[in-house]
Chain A
Amino acid sequence: MTAAEGGAAAALVIEDDGEMAAHVAGLLAAMGFSATVESDGARGLAAAARRRFDLIVADRMLPGLDGLDVVARLRALDVATPVLMLSALGRAANKVEGLEQGADDYLAKPFSDDELVARVRALMRRAKGEAHPEVMLVGALEIRIKARTVHRAGRHVAVSPKEFELLRCLAEHAGAFTPRALLLERVWKLKFDPQTNVVDVHVSRLRGKLDEGFETTLIRSARGEGYMLLTGDGDPKGAR
């Protein structure tokens, strides 16, 4: 997540609501970014054109130039910086529109901190091109992408195709919470959250398979909002 020059990665936050801008900047700072805040579209665009950023978080509804326009102009200027679009309009149609305009991901306000962090992390990983490693190692877990096999401490764990996708997504965010919405989007291609917590059931089954025969559990649930694949030895069973 470090910029080419060596120092901290640089992020640009374009958001007209001062409190939200500070909050997002705070979250990004905790992830190791040095964040610059601009409060309207035109100034945001100017800032992005002036120097290189590793990430841009832009609100969709901005005074002057709106978020979609900013992204469209940036892309026209061949600026390929990953853009996470924030908006108060969370509906599917706007989401598609935002992505078509060149945004890399879209997050509806109000969002959970975990979700913003997870999406930024995913964007940065994608930008660095490490989306498709052949083997993912998380603690004692070994996930082979091409062979689609899972081993825990050398013991083979048989998982269904959906469970494999789920584990892979959790592994990409290992050590941090992966929000439910992100799992629904990546594993089931769903852009909405069903009433019943369907993800919970799938995670429970995956957890059951991973933990069978072991003293600890590798997946931790967070406030009903997301799940974390632990990088260490895992939590004692029943303490999740």
Chain B
Amino acid sequence: MTAVTRAPLARSALWRFMLALAGAFALASLAAGLLAHRAVDAYVRARVAEAIAADLDGLADVHAAGGAAALKQAIGRRVTAEPRRIYLLVDAQGEPQAGNVAGWPNNLAPDARGLSFRVEERDDSFEGDARALADGSRLLVAHSQADNRALRADLLGRLALPALAALALMLLASWRLARRALARIAAMNAACARVEAGEMTARVGDLASQDELGALARNIDAMLGRIEALMGGVQTLSDHIAHETRTPLARLRARLERAHAGAADAATRAAFDDAIGETQTIIDIFSALIDITATEAARGDAKGLVDVDLAGTVARVVDLYEGVAEDRGVRLTARTAPAHVLGDPTLLMRMVANVVDNAIKFSPEGGAVSITLASAGGETTLAVRDEGPGVPQAFREAAFERFARAEEARGAPGHGLGLTLVRAIAIRHGMKIALEDAHPGLRVVIRATA
């Protein structure tokens, strides 16, 4: 009866879908960023390698034309102009002749391309090339990687910022979209829950929009309409049967009464008494059906409703049932506080009486039936607890339907309409009713919100 109509955002399927979508987008952005980063990195490396090769070619030409002295001079000029680069000239024995580092880096092949090494005195990594010259000396040119890294970091920053902004934008858009869709889904859930609670006329009403949710809402409304029509058909039929049979039943009863009055002997009179009793049973069932239907039909109708103190209603019910409870060895107690509701006093009395009647009926000898009535935070709770066999969990919803009776209750008197009427009266007053396990026994809880 109490379906969750509005799940928290975190538990919403739609919201989870949106989050997954945003996550996938974030991953894709990350992958694209990495690829771009690597491509630019490769490009930068290629440009650096070209520049180094050109530098080495130029210096080799200087050596070929002017010899070692001219080369040393050229290196000196280069070191001054590009202090961040490394230049080194060593002779055939490996002794440094010119340049801005102390010696040939360890573990480096004397003549290789694409060298990568660290220079501790500079606290930096370098990439460069070496070349052997005609006189056996070797030349090393290398560029700092710090420049490369700076470029890479700059690139990452430039790529990440728009990606993060896009992600944030996407999350915001998702949240707003999800919220709108969720509100519409919540409306559908609310309509279904209200119908389930017995308010057969409740609808979603989201009919204008042409999207899938609009179509779903229209389908739900159409389905609820169908349910109402079917239920109405069943009720109208039972109502018709009850109404149409009342005249023949009234005649039947009148004839039996006349026959009873004219009976010659006690045995015949007793037989007519039995027949009248059975007729009365049929009449009672039909009366109850008509009462239920009439009460259900009056839901939401404020006509004839007056201020009723439920504490007074409970007191009258206790007054009425005290004797019955005592005769059956059942302790009947009530703890009440004033609780005013707008209602039909007769119907409310009947509701409480029916529940208490049931509780006493199903109580074992020596058991207790306790009625509590309390108001807190604008909600009034009326609870009737017994120590009887209770109602199996699986039957607690069905127990409110017409002619519904648990297997355990088959032997007890009644025709399975009491709880149906109780619920109809509760709904008529905008109250909620539930059967709960009282460990042991049953607790019937009726809640009214002011």
Contacts and interface: CB of A to CB of B under 8 A. Distances in A.
Interface of A: 17, 19-20, 23, 26, 88-93, 96, 108-113, 162, 188, 190-196, 198, 201-202, 205, 223-225
18 contacts: A17-B251, A19-B251, A26-B258, A90-B290, A92-B291, A92-B346, A109-B247, A110-B246, A110-B249, A110-B250, A112-B276, A113-B257, A190-B346, A193-B284, A195-B358, A201-B327, A223-B276, A223-B277
Nearest to B246: A88
Interface string B98-133: 000000000000000000000000000000000000
Interface string B275-294: 01101100110010011001
B152 interface: no
Contact of B277 (A113, A194, A195, A224): A224
B206 interface: no
A202 B250 contact: no
Contacts of B283: 110
Interface in B320-352: 320-321, 323-324, 327, 344, 346-347, 349-350
Interface string B72-97: 00000000000000000000000000
B112 to A, nearest CB: 105
A211 B46 CA distance: 122
Top 5 A-B pairs ranked by shortest CB distance? A110-B250, A201-B323, A23-B254, A88-B246, A113-B257
A207 B413 CA distance: 26
B418 A108 contact: no
Contact of B361 (A188, A195, A225): A195
Nearest to A114: B257
B279 A198 contact: no
A165 B321 CA distance: 17
Contacts of B323: 198, 201-202, 205
A195 B290 contact: no
Contacts of A225: 280
A111 B344 CA distance: 25
A60 to B, nearest CB: 12
Interface in B254-304: 254, 257-258, 261, 273, 276-277, 279-280, 283-284, 287, 290-291, 294, 298, 304
B257 A194 contact: no
B217 interface: no
A205 B350 CA distance: 24
B324 A110 contact: no
B277 A110 contact: no
B320 A88 contact: no
A201 B316 CA distance: 16
Contacts of A193: 284
Contacts of B327: 201
A162 B304 contact: no
A89 B242 CA distance: 10
Contacts of B246: 88, 109-110
B319 interface: yes
